[in-house]
Amino acid sequence: MSQPSLDTLGRMDQLLKLTADAGVEVSAAETALDDEMPQAARDALDRADDILAQLREQWPSMTPIERRMIGELARTVRARRDAVAARVPVRRVVTDAVAEVDPEQDEDPEEE
């Protein structure tokens, strides 16, 4: 059995670090939700999504061993990410508001 090259080990190390970074961001989102900070949770989830996207971009160039290992780990991170995202409160936007009447609105500013 041949030993993996240093290039292969370095690449695997990079991929593992990216996967771990995504997991750290998911943990940050969990903590933010526990601290009732939904916007911070959204931001952490966005960062996790960006890291997972980087891993997806590298997927075609991964070896079968890298795909098996990183794929399994990334699936776990993604499942955690989805569970946290489901807990983030939905933003509510007021769309039906009564306009306030400003008596000066219809006056010409130069009439003063």
The reported pLDDT for the residue numbered 102 is 74
pTM over cut 0.95:
no
Q: What is the DSSP letter of 18?
A: H
pLDDT in tens, 47-83: 999 999 999 999 999 999 999 999 999 999 999 999 9
Read off the pLDDT band of 2 (50, 70, 90).
Answer: low
Q: What is the CATH number of the domain that holds 54?
A: 1.20.58
Q: Kindly state whether residue 50 falls inside one of the protein's structural domains.
A: yes
Q: What integer pLDDT is reported at residue 56 of this predicted model?
A: 96
In this predicted model, what pLDDT tens digit does every residue of 9-33 receive, in sequence order?
688 999 999 999 999 999 999 999 9
Assigned domain for 60 exists: yes
Amino acid occupying residue 86? A
Q: Which residues contact 85 (CB under 8 A, 6 or more apart)?
A: 29, 45
**For residue 37, what are the domain limits?**
11-90
